[in-house]
Structure 1
Amino acid sequence: MADIEDGAVVDEEHYSVSRTVHVRTPRGRVWDAITTADGIARWFGDTASLDEARVGASGSLGWEDFGDYAFVVTAVVDGFLFEFRWAKDPGVDVREDNATSVRFVLADAVDGTILTVVESGFDLLAGDDAARRELLHGNREGWNLELDELVRTLES
C-alpha cells in the first residue's frame, strides 16, 4: 500500500491547497493517469475528456452529481509536470475570475513515484473572501478523496 501523507494542507495566506503522495508504481503510469482522458476518468470524477497533454489543449472533468467542469492545459514538461486551469462552476468556459490552477509534479522514488499536487488561485475568484475560503477548504477534502483514489487505482 502507498504511503499516503497526512492529507492535503491549506495555505490560507497564499490561497492554495497541496498534497503529496507516494505511489508504488513507475512514474510513467502515474503520468498516464494524470494526462490522458482514460487515465483521469479512472480516479478523478466520473468522466474526462482531453485530446492530448499539450499547452492550450482543453478538456473537461465530469461528476454525475455535479456536472462537467472545463479545463485548459497551461504547462507540460513530459513525464514531470502537468498543469491546468479549471472552471469552478460546471458548464462554463475557463476565465480568469472563475478558475484555479492545478499543478502536478512527479519525481522518482526508490520504489515508485512521488506526486505533489498544488491548487492555487482561489484568491482570484470572483465573489467574497468567505466564499473563496470555503471553496479552498472544500477542495482540500476533494484532493484527499481524489488522490487516495489515484493511489488505490494505480496500486491495484
Structure 2
Amino acid sequence: MIMSTSEVSTDRIEREIFITAPVERVYRLVSEPGWFIGDGDPSARTIVREGDVYVVEYPPYGRFPVLPVRADAPHYVSFRGGDEPGTPLNEGNSTLVEFFLSEHRDGTMLRVVESGFDALYASAERRAAALDDNSRGWEMQLAIAKRDAERL
C-alpha cells in the first residue's frame, strides 16, 4: 500500500510503500540511476553515462539527466534529476530524489522524498502541475519497485 504524507508542501513530495523483500534486494533496485524514469518496462529506456551524470532516454518523453549524489547502502541513496541533458545539475535546476529504506520483520519500508520544486519553478501554476505529475508518478514508480523487488 502506498502512503502519502498528510502535510501539503509546495516544495516536496513524500511517499512510502512496504515491500515484502529483503532490504538489500530493494536497495539494488533503487540505487540504479534512473530506474524511476519510465512506465516499468526497462527495455523501453536506454541509460548512458556521460561523466558523472547518467542520461536516461525514454521515448517518446525525451532525455533526462540523473546525477548520483550520495549512497549509504543499504539504507539510503539520492540523486539529482533534471530536464536538460548537458546542464550541470544543482539545487536551482533540479530536484533531489532521496530513497530511505528501513528493515522490518517481513520486508522493507521504502520511502521516497523528492524536493526542490520551489527553486525549480518560479510560477505557482507550473510548480503545482509538476508536483501533481510527480506525485502520481511516484505512486506508479513505487508500485513498480514493489512488483519488481517481490518478483526477484
Segments of structure 1 that go 5 or more residues without pairing to the other structure are: none
In the alignment, residue 91 of structure 1 is paired with which amino acid? P
Give the match for residue 26 of structure 1.
22
Q: Could you tell me how far apart the structure 2 residues matched to 1:118 and 1:99 are?
A: 14
Report the TM-score when normalising by structure 2.
0.81
- 1:91 matched to 2:85: yes
**3-state SS of the aligned residue for 1:75?**
strand
Please, which moves more after superposition, 146-155 or 102-111? 146-155
CA contact (8 A) 1:26 1:113 kept: yes
Indicate the residue corresponding to 1:146 in structure 2: 141
* Pairing 1:59–2:77 present: no
Identity of aligned residues (%): 24
- Specify the code of the residue in structure 2 equivalent to 1:27: V
Distance 1:38 1:112 in 2: 23
1:95-134 counterparts in 2 under 5 A? Answer: 95-134=90-129
Distance of aligned partners of 1:57 and 1:10 in 2 relative to their CA distance in 1, 3 Å threshold:
farther
Report Cα offsets for 1:77-98 as digits up to 9, x if no partner: 12111001100x2535224332
CA shift for structure 1 position 154: 1.6
Which runs of 5 or more structure 2 residues have no equivalent in the other structure?
A: none
